[in-house]
Chain A
């Protein structure tokens, strides 16, 4: 009797979770199917009608997108922003994280507490002053400007994460390396970086995702020649409804890279997002 009830309860749970899963999948499926339909078909009926007549699905929208110079340039801008912004954050934060964990310098404690305090500073507060600053430096509207902003606001979390990870290293390991006459630079590149690889991977994935998906920062700091995909798509939102054959494939293109990263590096991805959620 009890077993029966448990069995029944379990199939109810299964059914419920299947429904939830479908609810989660439907919006994404809607975007994908919409991205494969012509403007005329979209005007005639919802994307679900295409499931009955799959003949109307084609990759024409995607080839049109690849032939659209604005979109392709925006895609490359996204790459040119995300990759350096990720690389720089990892390098600068690893250097600083190691120093905060193992090197002695005046003001080490208060400076690190400052970094911890900066973890939750919203990017909004930096927009206006940095825009003025970049205007004076000639960085406004350029890719390096966008990158520098992302690096700066990514650093507190990055330093925090790596410093804590490096601090867990056994002291003896480092002392042994110093006794052997290794310079700090050698210790850093040969010992600290390899040991810190898991944390660095999580950080890199989190930062890459953050920058790749950003719209707000680029909306302000990029101009029409340096704007990433998110901003390019955002500029087309105004005509929403009449340009779904452009918006849907564009949005799908912009989300396919992070989703592939997600499935390729699930564990690091989840860890990175979890750790970074304090931001």
Chain B
């Protein structure tokens, strides 16, 4: 009964199958309409270019002659591209390892303070900053002139705090006025001096404005007599402002030279050394009788320490990696921190109760349990580091570009920046693609695994 009713109510089987098929076809058309715009763009601007580049990489610069694998061998023969390959290798080896390590340390430490969130925000913020802006920021920080670059200003002030500054890089003695220049740049008295004598060391070539603050006239000190067992004297600027002074004599207005190192030398050996006072005076007491040379060592006249040439050929790659660390450390720290928060609390607690110290917990429990997270961070960074472009392009000054070049910048230079060899450029692009293929395979595998 019910069966007949149903039969009557439902349409004939053929028509029903037809309608279902039509509905399914309609569904497919709708689905294709949903994906079509995205697939069109992907096909035209991503998939086709990949295939085109692969093909193009087998042709010469102008694209007319098939050259087989020549572009790929050329890559490892041409010094510029070889340099790029080497630098990219340095980047890949150094940057991800440093970042993962730094991120791990900071992620563990930041959990111990109450302002963890603020700290994380601060370190993560550079991720919002463009490589261009970061490049300008670090170009500024790395400036070689210690009066411009903050990093060299810091380096120079640390250096000077430990080693002292030389105060008189431009000073020199007049010829034939009692001082003879040594081979190393020092000045020694031409005539020998013996205890009981005074020695006046006159120098010129110092602008009055370059005199240290607190320098006082040398005249009063120069007038003092030496005791029997001492040599004393003044180092002074042998120049009277406005003229009128006498060369080789300490005139009334002439300034002493403070902070100058002075040595007493006997038979080629330094037996005493001292530093001049504000009025340029110095004294060596308790000297045995004999003849001495009073010497101003070369360090008084050394050019001032100028700091490190961060953006010179030798250090430019480490310097740019430093800028990269500034950008990405927050990323590593936050990702590792998320992994840290997901660690089983009881494992850590148990270890603590067993009396393990913080270091043992870190070494034996935290790091091994974080293994997978650390791998993800490391791999992600490797992929990103291989494509680094803007930072190198911006930070390395023009003449140093070729020392800092990496695959991505070299690809740009070869294809568009004057090289105009699109065959070699395509080959470099394909090399970049080949380098990320392991990551591609990893992604596809992981995705398929997650679908089962």
> Residues on A close to B: CB < 8 A?
9-10, 13-14, 16-17, 20-21, 24-28, 30-31, 34, 42, 44-48, 92-93, 95-96, 98-100, 103-106, 108, 111, 113-130, 133, 148-149, 151-153, 155-156, 159, 184-185, 188, 209, 212-216, 220, 230, 233-234, 237-238, 240-241, 244, 247-248, 251-252, 254-255, 258-259, 261-263, 266, 269-270, 273-274, 277-278
Cβ contact within 8 Å between B132 and A233: yes
Q: Does B289 contact A (CB under 8 A)?
A: no
A185 to B52, CA, bound (A): 36
Q: Could you say which residues of chain B place their CB within 8 Å of the CB of A48?
A: 150, 153
Q: Could you say which residues of chain B place their CB within 8 Å of the CB of A99?
A: 31-32, 34-35
How would you classify the secondary structure of chain B's contact residues: helix, strand, loop or mixed? Answer: helix
Minimum Cβ distance to chain B for residue A152 (Å)? 4
Q: Could you say which residues of chain A place their CB within 8 Å of the CB of B390?
A: 215-216
A9 to B37, CA, bound (A): 58
Q: Known A26-B150, A31-B136, A152-B45; judge A159-B447 contact (CB<8 A).
A: no
Q: Known A25-B122, A93-B38, A95-B34; judge A128-B131 contact (CB<8 A).
A: no
- Taking A104-B24, A215-B131, A258-B129 as known contacts, 15 extra A-B pairs with beta carbons closer than 8 A to each other, sorted by chain A number, are A16-B109, A26-B141, A27-B150, A47-B150, A120-B439, A121-B50, A121-B433, A122-B408, A126-B46, A152-B44, A152-B46, A184-B30, A238-B398, A255-B128, A278-B383
- B102-124 vs A, CB cutoff 8 Å, 1 = contact: the mask equals 00001001101100000101111
Minimum Cβ distance to chain B for residue A20 (Å)? 7
A212 to B127, CA, bound (A): 13
Q: Does B147 contact A (CB under 8 A)?
A: yes
Q: Interface residue count for B (Cβ, 8 Å)?
A: 91
Q: Could you say which residues of chain B place their CB within 8 Å of the CB of A212?
A: 130
Select one of A46, A214, A237, A269 contacting B153, CB under 8 A. A46
Q: Known A27-B138, A30-B137; judge A120-B46 contact (CB<8 A).
A: no
Minimum Cβ distance to chain A for residue B322 (Å)? 10
Q: Does B16 contact A (CB under 8 A)?
A: no
Select one of B50, B132, B398 contacting A234, CB under 8 A. B132
Cβ contact within 8 Å between A105 and B32: yes
A185 to B150, CA, bound (A): 58
Minimum Cβ distance to chain B for residue A145 (Å)? 10
Cβ contact within 8 Å between A251 and B132: yes
Select one of A116, A155, A209, A251 contacting B447, CB under 8 A. A116
Interface residues of B in 360-418 (CB under 8 A from A): 380, 383-384, 386-387, 389-390, 393-394, 397-398, 408, 411-412, 415-416
Q: Could you say which residues of chain B place their CB within 8 Å of the CB of A248?
A: 136, 140
Cβ contact within 8 Å between B384 and A117: no
Closest 5 CB pairs of A and B: A213-B130, A103-B31, A129-B49, A152-B45, A99-B34
| Stretch from B4-12, B83-91, B162-170, B422-430 at the A interface | B422-430
Cβ contact within 8 Å between B119 and A17: yes
A159 to B46, CA, bound (A): 14
List 12 interface pairs A-B (beta carbons < 8 Å), by A numbering: A17-B109, A95-B38, A118-B47, A122-B433, A128-B429, A152-B46, A215-B130, A244-B140, A262-B127, A262-B128, A270-B124, A278-B443
Q: Could you say which residues of chain B place their CB within 8 Å of the CB of A42?
A: 148
Q: Known A125-B50, A129-B53; judge A230-B38 contact (CB<8 A).
A: no
Cβ contact within 8 Å between A124 and B411: yes
Cβ contact within 8 Å between B127 and A233: no
Minimum Cβ distance to chain B for residue A111 (Å)? 7
Cβ contact within 8 Å between A262 and B150: no
Name A213's closest neighbour in chain B (CB-CB). B130
Cβ contact within 8 Å between A24 and B122: yes
Q: Could you say which residues of chain A place their CB within 8 Å of the CB of B146?
A: 46
Q: Known A99-B31, A128-B415; judge A261-B128 contact (CB<8 A).
A: yes
Select one of A34, A124, A240 contacting B397, CB under 8 A. A240
A128 to B426, CA, bound (A): 8
Minimum Cβ distance to chain A for residue B159 (Å)? 16
